[in-house]
Each structure stands twice: as C-alpha cells, then as structure tokens.
Structure 1
C-alpha cells in the first residue's frame, strides 16, 4: 500500500507542477499583451504630439516674403471646420502680412496631450517667439502663446480640427 500512496503523491505533485506551468504561461501571455497594448498607446500618443507640434510650428512661423508657403503648411495639417475657416480667411491675411512686412518666428516650448481616444485628441501647447513688423520698426518683439488644439484621426493621420488661443 505504500507504493500506491507514493504513486498518488507523485501524481499530485506532477499535477500541481502542471497547473503551475499553465498558470505561469497565462501570466506571461497577459504581460506580453499588456506590453503590446502599452506600446500601441505610446505610439498613438507620440503621433498626436508630433502632429500638434507640427501644426503649432506652422501656425506661429510666418514670413510675409513667402506667406503662402506658411499658410499652406498650416492648411496641410488642418481638417473640418478649422480647415474651412482657415482657408476662407487667408486671402486677406496675405495682403495684411505683406503690407505690414510681418515676420513671426517661434518654437513650441512644451506640449501635452490632455485627452486621447480612438479618433480624437486634445493637446495644449505653449510657445515662445518674436514678431517683427512695421509697427515694431522691424525689430523683433517677444511673443508667448498658449494654444489648445483639437485633433481628429483622418485617413491615417492626425489633423487639427480646431485651434484656439488660451490664457
């Protein structure tokens, strides 16, 4: 009878080890899935930030000597109502820029995603730069802006659907 007990004990140990291996395999699989999911989320977050930074940089860097190129850069990253509004208001802007010989030069100091889901995002950005025009005697004057951008995922790209100044 001791042989039967030994066989039962060995069977129980083997069964426990098999359960432990299966449980460990499930944990490893879940961890792998979590890491993949986090990598996808990080990539989306990075793509949103890059698109927002590009749009803000285009928006705050404008030169009357090539105003249309500056305007086209903003329009390229725009969509929806923002694209329509921006497009309809640019004709007068080019003339105004040329009349005042305006040059705006700036950079994004910081930007952060404040909301992100499958096809939309909200980003806040702060900038610093200068504006030079006839009114300033063509001397650069410091300018700081804070902007809120709403982005939409359209045709595989993040595009700005709204851009507004915030205080």
Structure 2
C-alpha cells in the first residue's frame, strides 16, 4: 500500500529542513563577516587614536635643552604638506627656544575620532599642560589646547597630514 500523501509531506519537510540549514549557514557566515569588519574597524580606530595621541604628545612637549629631539619627534609622525611646513617653520626654532629658555610640557587628556575611512581620519585632541620661558619669568603657566589632527594611512602607519588649533 502506497501512501502518496505521506511521501509528499516527508519530501516537503526534508526540503524545508534543507532550506533552513542553508539559511542558517548564510546567517552564521554573515555574522562572522560583520564581526570581522567590526573588529578591523575598531582596530583601525585604535591605531588612529594612538598615532594622534603620540603626535600631539610630541607637539606639546618641547624642551629647549633637547630642542632638536622635540622637533624630530613631531617630524617623525608628519607627512605631506604638514611635514614640509613643519620642517620649514622649525629651521630657526631651536635658536628661539634656546634664547627664550622655553619648556612646554603637556599631556593628552582625551582624543576622539571625528571621521575615518580606510586611509584617512580626523581626530580632535584635548591637551593640558604648562609653558615656562623668559617671558613668564621661567614660571610654568597653564596651557590647554584643542587640536584637530588629520591623518593618512601610509603603508599601514598613520601619519599626521595636518594640525589645526580649534579652540
């Protein structure tokens, strides 16, 4: 005795189970890709923030007794027009820093990515510190800066392409 109705039901159930397995596999694959993308993006944001922090820490820490070291630290993280402008503007800086006995010390309080894509980013950085020189009678005076840093990815390394004081 044949039961054609039962066979059709079994085929439909098997087909539905197969479709469910395929659909579930696709969802698992998509979820895995989404997590990998999110992880890569989070790592990129971390790299961008670390590069911006490092550059601005160098930028707000200048000591006339180690002026060339201070300048070189900023230049190391610079690229493009910013590197050229910085290089040009620092030619006489060592002499000026030494004459004024200038010491600027600071730290990054916070930094946040404003915009980012796969090869460029903008970061706002807030700093706090002091500056002491002959015009302050060599007494530290408080200085806070808000700085916008534009960065570009050069072969896996984030470099500063622009620095702008924003407030």
Measured against the shorter chain, the TM-score band is over 0.9
Following superposition, which runs of at least 4 residues in structure 1 exceed 4 angstroms of deviation?
none
Aligned to 1:144: 144
Offset from partner CA, 1:93-137 (integer Å, 9 cap, x none): 111110111111101111111111121111111100011111212
Aligned to 1:39: 39
Q: Which ranges of structure 2 fall in alignment gaps of 5 or more residues?
A: none
Aligned to 1:162: 162
Deviation at 1:58, TM superposition (A): 0.3
Within-5 A mapping of 1:16-165: 16-165=16-165
Deviation at 1:156, TM superposition (A): 2.0
Q: Distance in 1 between matches of 2:32 and 2:2?
A: 45
- TM, length-normalised to structure 1: 0.96
Local SS of the residue matching 2:139? coil
* 1:5 is aligned to 2:5: yes
Local SS of the residue matching 2:54? helix
- TM, length-normalised to structure 2: 0.96
The alignment yields a C-alpha RMSD, in angstroms, of 1.1
Q: Distance in 2 between matches of 1:102 and 1:55?
A: 19
Local SS of the residue matching 2:3? helix
Offset from partner CA, 1:36-75 (integer Å, 9 cap, x none): 0111111111111111110000000010000100000000
Local SS of the residue matching 1:148? strand
